Amino acid sequence: MAASEARATAALISELCKQFYGLGWVSGTGGGISIRDDRGVWMAPSGVQKERIAPQDVFLLEARWDRAEVIEPPANPALRLSECQPLFFNAFRLRGAGAVIHSHSLWAVLAARVACPDGGAGVFRSRNLEMQKGLRGVGCFDELRVPIIPNTAREAQLRDSMAEAMVAHPDVDAVLVAGHGIYVWGEDWVRAKTQAECLDYLMRAAVEAHRLGLPL
């Protein structure tokens, strides 16, 4: 297998990170993405400019969820494994996800603040919007309920509260983190990206409706 074929998923992560930067999801080195394929779990590094990630900067981990076992490190030994790793593994372990996206979108942060002004746990709700049909099992007239969990000082400390929220809300493929962003997953990267885009739209709609004094 050619080197380019062996790291095709890493190249995809590089491309997607550039797109997410343009959407405002991964600015200031925040956010990230992980994709699982038949070789293992590919993951963007932590604390780097996401729009400048090259395929050789991406980690390849073993697809086992009890620990983070690196199979192929990046070419640059100074790069660090993503702080999101335990949260990504939640989605792989609990939902059998094929891809997970972590966005620092302003709309996600503001939507969580509108739903829970004190930054605590709660639920973001949406109803009667066509873009809900882009989400698993949701129609435009259904009520969408996305769990919100409080933020912590370190990302890895969110692992248990995120897992609890996922178990409590098995019908939704996302968890909001107050004052932080959102984790979205899907059966593959296409589904994860589609749901992340639809949720971002719905959260922007909720924030703008709140600003205009319209009912949510």
- Of the candidates 28, 45, 38, the one whose C-alpha atom is nearest the C-alpha of residue 1 is 38
Q: Determine contact, residues 124/177, Cβ cutoff 8 Å.
A: no
Residue 165 confidence (pLDDT): 98
Catalogue the active-site residues: 130
pLDDT digits over 160-189, tens only? 999 999 999 999 999 999 999 999 999 999
Q: Which residue has the tokens 């370190």?
A: 154
Return the pLDDT at 101. 98
Number of domains in the chain: 1
Give the global pTM: 0.96
Q: Residue 83 is part of which domain span? A: 3-212
Q: Give the contacts of 23 (CB within 8 A, at least 6 positions apart).
A: 103, 105, 200
CATH number at residue 30: 3.40.225.10
Look up residue 14 and give its two tokens.
Answer: 């590089």
**Phi first, then psi: what are they for 175, rounded to 5°?**
-135, 130
The residues, any chain, with a CB within 8 Å of residue 50's CB and separated by 6 or more, are 17, 18, 20, 21, 26, 29, 30, 31, 32, 44
Q: How confident is the model at residue 2 (pLDDT cuts 50, 70, 90)?
A: low
